[in-house]
Amino acid sequence: MMKKLFLNLLGVLLLGILIGYGVSWFFQQGQKEEESARVVIARDVPVRELQLYFVAPDGTFLVPEPYETSACDDDLGCIQDLLSGLIYGSSQNNLPVLPKETEVLAVDVGNDIVRINFSRKLVDFHPGGSLTELLTIYSVANSLNENFPYLRQVQILVDGEVLQTLKGHVRIDQPIYADYSFSEPPLPGPIPEGADQNLSIEQLIQNNESPGTD
């Protein structure tokens, strides 16, 4: 009688151990799946869509183009990636605004102005011309302001220096404000070559919009 009771107790004990082990294994598996899910979520970097301005195929005005990036965690990183996108060029057969050889040496943001230090290759490989220089400058200014509205001004530096003009036509020795009128086709007409070397950006725009300008 005692032996039978002992065997029954032993069976109950073993059954409890097996049940406990099964419950423990079940929760461990659930915990591992939860940890795996957390790892997947942590690696899922959100994509941010920016708007970049390139030159329309006819070469007379700027057009916005979507650009997706997952390479930035803050505004400064996104600004640097935005500039990389402008240098890389359009994915929709629009014309480039910056030479592919251009390098961004530094970006500095303060209040409502962003200072961009480009390499000398921006000037060396730029085709020049009044309209082309204007579209380059305002593609940068408008792209930045479109995506970061608090950035109202852009100061362009070349190898750390403030140059008078980009390539002999449009002055860049002062901060530039975004101007979305360059996204309105078509521009009234070309700016006279040879008569604008010492004009400010504002005067160039005014001359470009004056009646009788060829």
> pTM higher than 0.85 for the full model?
no
User: Residue 53: exposed, middle, or buried by beta-carbon count in 10 A (0-12, 13-18, 19+)?
Assistant: buried
Instruction: Provide the β-strand partners of residue 80.
Output: none
> What confidence score (pLDDT) does residue 185 get?
81
CA end-to-end span of the chain, whole Å?
119
**Is 132:60 a contact under the CB 8 Å cutoff?**
no
Three-state DSSP class for 80? helix
Length of the chain: 214
pLDDT of 62-80, one tens digit each?
Answer: 999 999 988 688 899 999 9
**Is 135:62 a contact under the CB 8 Å cutoff?**
yes
| d(C-alpha 173, C-alpha 192), whole Å | 21
Residue numbers of the chain with a pLDDT score lower than 70: 1-45, 71, 186-214
Three-state DSSP class for 108? strand
Maximum C-alpha span of the chain: 121
> What confidence score (pLDDT) does residue 172 get?
97
| d(C-alpha 135, C-alpha 127), whole Å | 12
pLDDT of 178-208, one tens digit each?
Answer: 999 999 886 455 444 433 434 444 444 444 4
